[in-house]
A and B are shown apart, each in its own frame.
Chain A
Amino acid sequence: MSKSAVEVPPRCGFSFDLCRRNAMLSEKGVQAPSYRKTGTTIVGLVFQDGVILGADTRATEGPIVCDKNCEKIHYMAPNIYCCGAGTAADTEAVTDMVSSQLQLHRHHTGRESRVITALTLLKKHLFNYQGHVQAALVLGGVDITGPHLHTIYPHGSTDTLPFATMGSGSLAAMAIFETKYKEGLTSDEGIKLVTEAICSGIFNDLGSGSNVDVCVITKGHKEYLRNHLLPNPRTYVSPKDYSLSKKTEVLLTKITPLKEKVQVIERGDAMEE
């Protein structure tokens, strides 16, 4: 940290200085460390009683799968959930932050949170950071005005849709939605369609994989189905356990109990008020 001779008042807000340094370094050929991305398939759809969200569970660090079973459906409010794609740290941080803001807002107003409140808070934050917070979100919930489903892009733009997909597997999942979605689906049909779309992402996209998480939100009730489907079980498990050929010979066994340092007297005085 360089010491400046002149006292400069602390600048508020995000400092973009390092962005210039990073650009200069990458021009010189220095490879930036890879982020843990959720390279993902996330989907949402509106059915007759509410909203269903779905996500896969693979988190990648470049070409490596770093988490085989991560959670991409984040809690925002009792009636609002948000799926996140993009940089894992960004999606976690931004959904946690808005979730706390919503809770404070609920205490302040005494009412159930509305989906558009979460939407506005998220889009304000993301636009403020001009796309540097790389979080692409599918926000869904049911509030007093009805079921809502929105997509939010890293730069802060939003869409209101009957069905939505985001992430690297979004095209594979969207192909399923475009062919099979219709209005007024029942809960079972909706879950089945969401599972199909996520499976399409899992099997056709390299950035998505492992299991399917589903979250069903209806008026006054929510069902978080963690690992609703496990289409990638570990099929070949060796039946033999580990066998160590050379064992160390046991010559002598001696067990010494540790002495108790503190004498506990049961009949002590009752605690003073």
Chain B
Amino acid sequence: MSLSESNQAQHNSLLSSDSQRTLYPYVTGTSVVALKYKDGILMAADMGGSYGSTLRYKSVERMKPVGKHSLLGASGELSDFQELLRYLDELILYDNMWDDGNSLGPKEVHNYLTRVMYNRRNKFNPLWNTLVLGGVKNGQKYLGTVTMIGVHFEDNHVATGFGNHLARPILRDEWHENLSFEDGVKILEKCMRVLLYRDRSAVNKLQIAKITEEGVTISQPYSLKTFWGFSAFQNPTVGAEGSW
């Protein structure tokens, strides 16, 4: 497999028990983009799972609800995301077993994820993900992110991977407090469209999830309209036939 051959040389220098640690990701998801709007959080992610440079899986749900108040989106290694969901399942289960009327809110889940990611990286065995955690509890909206090395912060809009370079500039320009649902979706679709054009691992099948005080809704998968009709694309060698 060309993936392992290219990475082998770089990673061999560390500990010898290489087979016991995550060295490089295999099946990866690309960017997740999220923003706070009037009633809660809106998050968008496409449904592609790439295996190196092949688009292997085209129906991967990279956003999942966590407990009653949170929504988790992940990019990076999909098996590590699935493992995290199991950890979170256990966390929520134990919380429910207390049966004390309290439930873990997004801030708490975010903190738990930060600890998990940071501790794994300290053992040189990271969970190869960048996570986006959004939620609403008691009217308070919360949106945060955790990377695979444990860097975490919260903001009004976050993105992972390529989204940081392509979507964040758009969000910084166009986001404002109290966006309506339609406006929020429009901005997210704008970001996802740019990602579709310019990120090679993006796929034109995405879901938008919203979380409000009432709960989580994840939309059905749909695709975005793209435009390729520029005249320079139709006829790039006008005036210079035979060149490129």
Contacts and interface: CB of A to CB of B under 8 A. Distances in A.
Interface string B142-176: 00000000000000000000100111111011000
A172 B191 CA distance: 11
B173 A116 contact: no
B239 A171 contact: no
Interface stretch (B66-74, B115-123, B192-200): B192-200
Contacts of A160: 232, 236-237, 244
Contact of A146 (B162, B233, B238): B238
A162 B231 contact: yes
B238 to A, nearest CB: 7
Given A171-B165, A174-B198, A203-B172, A116 B238 contact: no
A176 interface: yes
Nearest to A145: B239
A175 B232 contact: no
Interface in A24-79: 46
A203 B162 CA distance: 17
B64 interface: no
A183 B169 CA distance: 23
B94 interface: no
Given A46-B232, A183-B231, A176 B170 contact: yes
Given A146-B239, A172-B169, A200-B173, A178 B230 contact: no
A113 B62 CA distance: 53
A145 B238 contact: yes
A178 B199 CA distance: 13
A120 B239 CA distance: 13
A148 interface: yes
A176 B166 CA distance: 9
Interface string B189-230: 011011001100000000000000000000000000000001
A114 B240 CA distance: 10
A238 B34 CA distance: 42
Contact of A178 (B162, B198, B231, B239): B198
Contacts of A162: 230-233
Contacts of B54: none
B13 interface: no
Contacts of A175: 165-167, 169-170, 191, 194, 198
B243 interface: yes
Nearest to A120: B243
A161 B228 CA distance: 12
Interface string A176-209: 1011000100000000000010001001100000
A149 interface: yes
Given A146-B239, A179-B193, A204 B232 contact: no
Contacts of A196: 173
B166 A171 contact: yes
Contacts of A171: 162, 165-166, 169, 198
27 contacts: A46-B232, A116-B240, A143-B239, A145-B240, A146-B238, A146-B239, A158-B244, A160-B237, A160-B244, A161-B232, A162-B231, A171-B162, A172-B165, A172-B166, A175-B166, A175-B167, A175-B194, A176-B170, A176-B173, A178-B197, A178-B198, A179-B190, A179-B194, A183-B230, A183-B231, A200-B173, A204-B172
Interface of B: 162, 165-170, 172-173, 190-191, 193-194, 197-198, 230-233, 236-240, 243-244
Given A149-B232, A160-B244, A171-B198, 6 more contacts: A160-B232, A175-B170, A175-B198, A178-B194, A179-B193, A203-B169
**6 interchain residue pairs of minimum CB distance:** A145-B239, A171-B165, A160-B236, A162-B232, A172-B169, A162-B230
